[in-house]
Structure 1
Amino acid sequence: MNAASNADGFGDSAARPPVVFRGGTVLTMDDRGTLHPEADVLVVGGRIEAVGPCLAVPEGTVEIDATDGIVMPGMIDTHRHMWQTAMRGYGADWTLTQYFVWYYLEHGRHFRPEDVYAGNLLSAVEALDAGVTTTVDWSHGLQTVQHADAAVDALEEVPGRFVLAYGNIQAAPWEWSVAPEFREFVGRRFHGDDMLGFQMAFDVTGDPAFPEKTAFEVARELGATVTTHAGVWGATNDDGIRLMHDHGFMNPDTVYVHAATLSADSYHRIAATGGSVSVSTESEQSCGQGYPPTWALRAHGIPVSLSMDTSVWWSGDLFSAMRATLGADRAREHLEAHAGSETVTHVHLRAEQVVRWATRGGAQALGLDDKVGSLEAGKKADVVLIKNAHSPAMFPLLNPYGHVAFQAQRADVHTVMVDGRVVKHDHRLVGIDLARARRSVEATVDYLQGQLGPEAWEHGMNPDVPETKVLDNPYTYTGYRSTATHGG
């Protein structure tokens, strides 16, 4: 395929020629778990027309050679703080407490709308580059509507599928959610387009007065899904889950992020009300939200999706998320067995399951399962081809699910299609101005360094913890203190 002549048609999907991925190992991720060792995926008019061996295709169809590669659904990240991507790697050695200090207490307010735009733009581009075709922008840096407009402007500039989860860590959710400018923004920027979805993002502290009730009521009025950091050590706990449940705000479309320090009672409530959990394994196991909870979620039958949290710490791809999740879940299984003088002979979490969490699980969590998440006729064409003829790690291809979870990486993402449009081909982004993203991010880094000064900027990579009970409550908009960690 000639990317310059065939992959840069940016009109509506009906105007682009049909595309067929030929002869790849196809992981459909359908309900039956169908795997085709050698098959084609035909895309017509932005939708998957057919999946199977040796498909007949319409005249003028563009062929992409998928031989020796893996064709799979686009991956879905259900929780990423995209606005922080301009600070990629800055907090590599942070704990969660230091993250709270830097963003919540000290420097988060410095971010201008253009800085949110820069982070979102780079994050959106890197997601596509890694085969993540749908990303939830857990955008808790929206201090003003101008910041929110900048966030959406960036998402709309990149040809991916995104969900803006509107939040503001500097203001109380029961205040910003009822502001006229917030409602005007929602009505102005969101129109039911599945390329740009909407959620409300806020946390429940556990305050018995349940002030967050107002924000839940606004979400219900707007028909918006709520996504919330739940079960995060020192920040949110079982009290928040109980309050949500007792007031009738735990719904099947609610997404609980991390859920790593909850009791069995809370897991039962999530399971009974049909919610799902977005697991960010790398973040949880390194920063201290709690032990990655897939072992508990599996035991309670709670649906799982995967997420990367933020590039201020981790990479922006889900290959590392799958790898880390398998490792953390299996490590716990082995350690618990050893503690009882037993030996695990067969692991319970298999590679196929985490690949499903990275694709279909995300679609189900976001209410998009009828559109994306699997390669089935009639669904939107969000397709990823993993193939790298120059890599010795791409052969032999014996266990395709294991290959995706343990062997592949972003450099092996050959082609990415979103909504029938090729946005990456032959390992290069198509129709995306990477230089513009670089300029925007460089301007933001220069601005932040200027605001903080050289000494504070350097010190911020390992910030001191101030004399405040940040461990009990990192939220600046409430005086409530829990007794969940070291005293109220």
Structure 2
Amino acid sequence: MNGTSPGIVFRGGTVLPMDLARSVLPDTDVLVVGDRVEAVGPSLDVPTGTEEVDASGGVVMPGMVDTHRHMWQTAMRGYGADWTLTQYFVWYYLEHGRHFRPEDIRAGNLLSAAESLDAGVTTTVDWSHGLQSVEHAEAAVDALRSVPGRFVLAYGNIQAGPWEWSASPDFRAFVERFPRSDLLGLQMAFDVTGDPAFPERAAFEVARDLDLAVTTHAGVWGATNDDGIRLMHENGFMEPRTVYVHAATLSHDSYHRIAATGGSVSVATESEQSCGQGYPPTWALREHGIPVSISMDTSVWMSGDLFSAMRTTLGADRSREHMEAHRKGDTVTHCHLRADQVVEWATRGGARALGMDDVVGSLEPGKKADVVLLKNDHSPVSFPLLNPYGHVALQAQRSDVHTVVVDGRVVKRDGRLVGVDLPSIRREVEATLEHLRGSMGEEAWQAGMNPDVPETKVLDNPYQYTDYRTASTHAGHG
């Protein structure tokens, strides 16, 4: 590993391989040779010189996959703790998002990439809708390539219509020179307003021409609705690799269309609960058989780990199930959503959504070696380990991430990141904050933590690159 060892073996852990049976393998070894999982089994014979990690008392699992994270915003960690979704739109879409320079995108991405690895998230989709220019995009890529994780850049620009920026020769040239690999993928990220003229068609055609998957915020209260899904479907732009983010306020008709075309939904439960996109929809997605992955959205609000995301997702789904039963005078006696399903959504579910199920998402011989060991001998919460899936989903936390391997490379060992220059990242983040505060002025910066909503039509349509308005939200319920 790291050029000095022929491999690494995790000895004697409880292994959750995330195979189709969702097996639990006690006292089992996982052998990594090169960038691949070589073997999974008890008491494995290993090559001479193999690094041994004592995994006894711990859980060995695949690296987690986050399918929707606005990484560029991480330099503002916690700034919008009390925001609603509308205030988020005001701050980033209407007023201050334009202040971000390419180097600010880079700083946010560096910090976000490091926190992903620290929490055992080995694959992260950078839902990068702050790319006001190709220079911003180059800065985002530079950051992602500087941190030893696995990433997908989802290219977007909230300051311009997707039919505009996707038609730019600069964008096409960027795509043509993009260094795509198993460690760095590319998508297009844009939303569909529901405008009957369907101006987004041009962007979908570019995505098809360039063979890029599309990820889109769908079913977001006050922003996107069933009209967008219907237009995508009627025009033939719903594909199995399309990822619909949130999908929290859609009708059964829209869920049927997603299910029929094989798409998946990225659920960001903490965000949906706190900010107002809509009630986390896993209960509806399960009903329609729609594949689910998990995401954390943005560190401007939420924690950048998937442990929080898993437990809130489990809680929200069960809460809805109880609520619906109580409304009918019934009692839920058995939970339908189980802990092992949520762990699957956070690992293999994310890999499937990204078309990477043959690469990552499970611990099987031949797959890429993205491996996480959860073990914390200094914590009383680490034992007893009775229900491993329940432990991961409801007990574990970032501090329990002992070892992380990405593509066969150790990137966290004994609870500390390896190959990540945190002091350098801190300096870049501090420079970004100094720039933002200076550009805005201290009064505006302080007011931004609880911004007023100006007299605009933001509640009808936060996308300022189009004049289309809809009465499907608050105006339609007067």
TM bracket (short chain): over 0.9
The answer to whether 1:146 aligns with 2:135 is yes
**Given that residues 131 and 157 in structure 2 are in contact (C-alpha distance below 8 angstroms), is that contact kept between their aligned partners in structure 1?**
yes
Gaps of 5+ in 2: none
Between the aligned partners of 1:294 and 1:35, the Cα distance in structure 2 is 24
In 2: Cα distance, 1:380 partner to 1:213 partner: 36
Q: Which residue is equivalent to 2:83?
A: 94
Distance 1:342 1:313 in 2: 36
- Distance in structure 2 (CA, Å) of the matches to 1:49 and 1:487: 58
Distance, in Å, in 2 between the alignment partners of 1:132 and 1:267 is 28
Structure 2 partner of 1:288: 276
Ranges of 4+ aligned residues in structure 1 off by more than 2 Å? none
Please tell me the residue identity of whatever aligns with 1:470.
Answer: V
Q: Secondary structure at the match of 1:487?
A: helix
Distance in 2 of aligned mates of 1:216 and 1:347: 40
Tell me the alpha carbon deviations over residues 372-429 of structure 1, each in whole angstroms, 9 at most, x when there is no partner: 0000000000000000000000000000000001110000000000000000000000
Counterpart code for 2:251: S
Which residue does 2:364 correspond to in 1? 376
Aligned match of 1:468: 456
Q: Which residue in the other structure is 2:258 paired with?
A: 270
Write out per-residue CA displacement over residues 178-230 of structure 1, whole angstroms, 9 at most, x where no aligned residue.
Answer: 10000111111233x01000000000000000000000000000000000000
Q: Take 1:481 and 1:190, find their aligned partners in 2: how far apart are those partners?
A: 39
Among all aligned residue pairs of Structure 1 and Structure 2, give the percentage whose two residues are the same amino acid: 78
Q: Deviations along 1:92-138, whole A, 9 cap, x unmatched?
A: 00000000000000000000000000000000000000000000000
Query: What CA RMSD, in Å, does the superposition of the two structures yield over aligned residues?
Result: 0.8
- Structure 1: runs of 5 or more not aligned: 1-6
| Inter-partner Cα distance in structure 2 for 1:487 and 1:170 | 25
In structure 2, distance between residues paired with 1:273 and 1:352: 26
Does the aligned pair in 1 maintain the 2:93–2:159 contact within 8 Å?
Answer: yes
Query: Which amino acid is the alignment partner of residue 327 of structure 1?
Result: G
Q: Give the 3-state SS of the residue equivalent to 2:75 in structure 1.
A: helix
- Measured in 1, the distance between the counterparts of 2:247 and 2:224 equals 9
Equivalent residue letter for 2:297: D
Partner of 1:456: 444
In the other structure, the counterpart of 1:402 is: 390
What residue in structure 1 maps to residue 193 of structure 2?
Answer: 205
Quick one: distance in 2 between partners of 1:298 and 1:18? 40
Match of 2:111 in 1: 122
Name 1:223's counterpart in structure 2.
Answer: 211
Question: What is the CA–CA distance in structure 2 between the aligned matches of 1:79 and 1:22, rounded to whole Å?
Answer: 33
SS of the equivalent of 1:134 reads strand
Choose 337-346 or 283-292, whichever is displaced more. Answer: 337-346
Tell me by how many angstroms 1:487 deviates.
Answer: 3.1
Decide which of 58, 65, 78 is 2:54's aligned counterpart: 65
Contact 1:258 1:280 in 2 (8 A): yes
Which amino acid in the other structure matches residue 95 of structure 2? E
Alignment partners' CA distance in 1, 2:57 and 2:215:
39
SS for the counterpart of 2:185 is: strand
Residue in structure 1 matched with residue 153 of structure 2 by the alignment: 164
Residue type at the aligned position of 1:411: S
CA distance in 1, matches of 2:371, 2:460: 43
Distance in 2, Cα, partners of 1:245 & 1:476: 24
Q: Could you say which residue in structure 2 is the equivalent of 1:479? A: 467
User: Helix, strand or coil: the match of 2:468?
Assistant: coil
Letter of the aligned partner of 2:245 in structure 1?
V
User: Does 2:22 correspond to 1:41?
Assistant: no
CA distance in 2, matches of 1:487, 1:194: 46
SS in 2 for 1:78: strand
Letter in 2 for 1:369: D
TM superposition shift of 1:16: 4.3
SS at match of 2:474: coil
- Distance in 2 (alpha carbons) for counterparts of 1:32 and 1:213: 40
- Equivalenced residue count is 476
TM-fit CA distance, 1:237: 0.2
Of 420, 426, 439 in structure 1, the residue corresponding to residue 427 of structure 2 is 439
Distance of 1:234 and 1:362 partners within structure 2: 27
TM-score when normalising by structure 2: 0.99
Distance in 2 of aligned mates of 1:70 and 1:310: 27
Deviation at 1:486, TM superposition (A): 2.8
TM-score for the superposition, normalised by structure 1: 0.97
**Matched residues in 1 for 2:406 and 2:351: separation?**
14
Quick check: 2:117–2:411 contact (8 Å CA) kept in 1? yes
